[in-house]
Structure 1
Amino acid sequence: MQTLKLTGIPTPVSRIGLGCMGMSEFYGPSDDGQSREVMARAVDLGVNFFDTADMYGQGHNETLIGGFLKGRRDKVVIASKCAIVRGDDPRDRRIDTSPDYIRYACEASLKRLGVETIDLYYLHRLDGITPIEESMGALADLAKSGKIKAAGLSEVNANTLKRAHSVFPVSAVQSEYSLTAREPEGNEVLDTCQAQETAFVAYSPLGRGLLAGTFRSEDELAEDDVRRSGYFPRFQGENLKKNVALADRVAELAQRKPATPAQIALAWLLSRTGVVPIPGTRSISRLEENAGADNIVLTPADLSALDAAIPPGAAEGGRYGDAAMSSLDR
């Protein structure tokens, strides 16, 4: 497995990480025992970069990973996040990046994870109120006290990234990035990351399963799958039909390699300097498939064909609904 060195973290991270969110919530039923098996297999495969957040399952995800880490702490680089504060109703949420809340949230995450230090600690979103310099100052204090090793940001714009980096190194920026979500290419964030030696961690690198060909209609999703709720307009009605057609183009290209569509989509991201995709899965077979993307080499002709098949802006519908979109690119 290829690796990448992140600022402030001694252990290089695998170029393909493991998104753990779905092990606790959002994409249908899950099983803790099965999730632990997936995490164990990931370590065997050299996938050592696990991504979680305090909001996933309202703390369950961190607790799940914390149990897995016992006796394995040196095998895994843990990334967690704070700032999204949820109420009892999943739709009831606010954002808080005040220094006091960051310190409070970090202490709570440390307890759930059962660790003394979080390797990479992100601000999940920005509240649009607290100056980024104050928020980064709080992260710098956490690093000085040994509670975190490195700091990251999620879904920020290039100007904010530069301001934050002037206070304390931003080791990673995490935002959605895939063949169907290419916004980071046009908003200068990728270029700024490269200039600052900040890694770019791509969440939903398979377009929330679309690019892997795991479903073609809403009817194939579990009743409690958030993709059925309207929260993601790209999976509704005519939008979904048009986006499935885009995914079919990737599947056609995959047949020529040979590789699976998911491997092609991940290899496309791996071809970009400093980009680390973190596909999520609760399946060992899917995990092994995703890890296999590390062995796929895309030629310049392949990359050109993918760009032609799914150019920037080709996906129909917004990444999120209007309310969630308002907290992006801050």
Structure 2
Amino acid sequence: MIDLNLLRTQRFLGLGCSTFGGSAATGVAKISLAKAFDQGIVYFDVARSYGYGQAEGIVGQFAQGKRDKMIIASKFGISPPPIPFKSLVLWGMRNIRKALPASRQTLAKAGVNALTKTQFTPQAAQSSLQTSLRELKTDYIDLFLLHESYYADCLRDDIREVLERAKEKGQIRAWGATLGERGCLQRQLSSSPLLEAVQFPFGQDTTYAQALGSATAIPIVYSVLNYYKSSGLLGRGDVLAEIKADFPGLHFINTLPELLLYLAFHQLQAGVMLSSMTTANNIDRNIFLFTECTRASPAEMQAVQTRLKSAMHLAPEMV
């Protein structure tokens, strides 16, 4: 069993499994899991809703015989759709590859809307935990998180009681929450220690920097690619060219998403950086960037971040 305290002192690249059983078929998912594990990745992120309810089962099958060499994080609070709808969505995602872009977007939107955001209740926490343990084919989950929650949800004594009791039984080793809103993350940072782990999206603001440096909870970062898509950097090859010209040491960076990943990897001193990876090339490339980022100096990466903020028309410090 891997010591969870290592997540507070070392950097880990984690495999995000949100597409497993959904847009990534079971066979593809199993190949990705094997490739990532063979390359040294030990952190695997799932949720009850991922893959329309199938992701946990896929990871659970893979974990057989190697469970003590893996850290598995799962989440509760969003339920997968009913079986008939799930089958329809999976068929559409895998077979309508040549459909019009609008059709693909409609199908994806339908899949998202079919997921049910449940209220965080003691009953929901207990039920979801038992289902996750069964699907993952394990006696324990390393990290159990409230999925897309508000900080107020984490403060509920009745939910905390269920999760603490599960810890006492050895069903979970630690618990925390996914806090997507910066206001919720700020509340966590300014409150007395409560959560053992906090998952939050990548950013270039002061709250993000503070969360990375917090000693109270294990930081788990996600959505670097989503940040890029909403950053205004799409199609800005000129920005990458200028940065590479001024920083020759970054000659191996091929795209702006890679540059943001490289920056995110460098900023992470301890904790987990999640990345959804479904191809061998993607896994190899991300592991290379994760390893290579230690060569960059803090001053160089600070200058790169300033250049990126300038290209995005962000203030040097933005809350």
Q: TM-score per shorter chain, which class?
A: 0.7 to 0.9
- Structure 2 CA distance for aligned equivalents of residues 128 and 193 of structure 1: 18
Q: Deviations over 1:231-290 (max 9, x none)?
A: xxx4xxxx8xx4314576346545732323454323312222335211101101100100
Structure 1 residue 280 and structure 2 residue 280: aligned?
no
Bigger Rg, structure 1 or 2: 2
Counterpart of 2:185, as a letter, is N
Paired residue for 1:216? none
Structure 1 residues 249 and 302: CA distance shift in structure 2, 3 A: farther
In structure 2, runs of 5+ residues without a counterpart are 83-109, 315-319
Structure 1 residue 186 and structure 2 residue 206: aligned?
yes
- Structure 2 CA distance for aligned equivalents of residues 14 and 281 of structure 1: 18
In structure 1, runs of 5+ residues without a counterpart are 211-233, 317-330
How large is the Cα RMSD of the aligned pairs? 3.2
Match of 2:305 among 304, 307, 311: 307
- Structure 1 CA distance for aligned equivalents of residues 16 and 140 of structure 2: 19
Does the CA contact (< 8 Å) of 1:176 and 1:202 recur in 2?
Answer: yes
- Structure 1 CA distance for aligned equivalents of residues 29 and 227 of structure 2: 18
Q: How far apart are 1:161 and its partner, in Å?
A: 5.6
Q: How far apart are 1:21 and its partner, in Å?
A: 0.8
- Structure 1 CA distance for aligned equivalents of residues 311 and 199 of structure 2: 20
Does the CA contact (< 8 Å) of 1:203 and 1:277 recur in 2?
Answer: yes
Normalised TM-score (structure 1): 0.71
Does the CA contact (< 8 Å) of 1:83 and 1:125 recur in 2?
Answer: yes
Structure 1 residue 113 and structure 2 residue 136: aligned?
yes
Match of 2:54 among 37, 57, 60: 60
Task: Report the secondary structure of 2:193's partner residue.
Answer: helix
Task: Report the secondary structure of 2:272's partner residue.
Answer: strand
Q: Deviations over 1:182-238 (max 9, x none)?
A: 3xx333x6525634332221112233775xxxxxxxxxxxxxxxxxxxxxxx4xxxx
Task: Report the secondary structure of 1:173's partner residue.
Answer: strand
* Greater helix content: 2
Identity rate, percent: 21
Does the CA contact (< 8 Å) of 2:233 and 2:311 recur in 1?
Answer: no
Structure 1 residue 148 and structure 2 residue 144: aligned?
no
Structure 1 residue 95 and structure 2 residue 153: aligned?
no
Normalised TM-score (structure 2): 0.73
- Structure 1 CA distance for aligned equivalents of residues 113 and 185 of structure 2: 25
- Structure 2 CA distance for aligned equivalents of residues 247 and 308 of structure 1: 17
Q: Deviations over 1:129-163 (max 9, x none)?
A: 75623233322121111110011211132324665
Runs of 4 or more above 6 Å deviation: 9-13
Task: Report the secondary structure of 1:282's partner residue.
Answer: coil
Paired residue for 1:259? 252
- Structure 2 CA distance for aligned equivalents of residues 11 and 275 of structure 1: 6
- Structure 2 CA distance for aligned equivalents of residues 126 and 35 of structure 1: 27
- Structure 2 CA distance for aligned equivalents of residues 65 and 315 of structure 1: 41
Does the CA contact (< 8 Å) of 1:23 and 1:281 recur in 2?
Answer: no
Of stretches 113-122 and 276-285 in structure 1, the one that deviates more from structure 2 is 276-285
Q: How far apart are 1:82 and its partner, in Å?
A: 0.6
Aligned residues: 271
Does the CA contact (< 8 Å) of 2:52 and 2:81 recur in 1?
Answer: no
Structure 1 residues 276 and 24: CA distance shift in structure 2, 3 A: same
